[in-house]
Amino acid sequence: MKKKSMILTPKIEKAITRSAELHRHQERKGNGAPYIVHPYAVAFLLAHYTNDEDVICAGLLHDILEDVPSYGAERMQAEFGERVYRIVKEVTEDRDPTGGWSLLPKKNHWRERKERYIENLKNDSEEALLIACADKIQNLRSLVDAYALRGDALLAHFRAGKEEMLWFYETVFQVISERFHHPLVHELRRSLDEAKKRVFLTV
């Protein structure tokens, strides 16, 4: 597949600005980097493979409904349209399998949240699967880099241990690869293999 070049449309620029605004007080786990690095990296990954404006906007906003609930679904629909909202909702962990919302406390419900996310992936659109791939690739790359610097001390910042994290990423890859044939799926496999070698299989 020929790689694409992102066109910085007014809508994408608005999504960049809104994401930076809403994530401005958040940091990435383990390395303390500004959280906005993550959605920006996801959007850049997506832009290598698609010129779909809504998909790139959804990539920039993909954690908003989960991490900034005060922003709200209605505001996202008003600012970015129904399609962007639908894609973001699909990749949000707090969406229950019926399509509604049931906010589970992150601290005590890690496994349940991840199982729900995986179950939803089985029915998500290809646009959502594309974002899920880019999201997990970036998470795995960040994990490998941070682990190289901090070792097992890094794990204190996460709600799951190595075995649970590996289960999650392996299962996500399996579900996506069975439904979706795309170069980003192969990149996810490579990123997962690298994390297994450098992080998970040091158990």
Instruction: Tell me the pLDDT tens digit for each residue of 120-178.
Output: 999 999 999 999 999 999 999 999 999 999 999 998 888 889 999 999 999 999 999 99
67 is catalytic: yes
What is the distance between the alpha carbons of residues 186 and 175, in angstroms, rounded to a whole number? 13
Q: Is domain 10-202 classified as CATH 3.40.47.10?
A: no
Is the pTM for the entire model greater than 0.85? yes
Q: Is 21 among the residues known to form the active site?
A: no
Given the residues 27, 67, 94, 194, the one annotated as active site: 67
The letter for the amino acid at 87 is I
Q: Name the DSSP letter for residue 181.
A: -
Can you tell me the distance from the alpha carbon of 169 to that of 105, in angstroms, rounded to the nearest whole number? 21
Which of 21, 27, 52, 66 does the annotation list as catalytic? 66
Q: How big is the CA angle at 196 (ends 193 and 111), to the nearest 5 degrees? A: 110
- In this structure, is the dihedral angle defined by the CA atoms of residues 80, 86, 89 and 95, taken in order, positive or negative? positive
Residues 167-182: tens digit of each pLDDT: 999 999 999 999 999 9
Query: Where exactly are the structural domains of the chain?
Result: 10-202
- Give me the percent of the chain exceeding a pLDDT of 90: 73
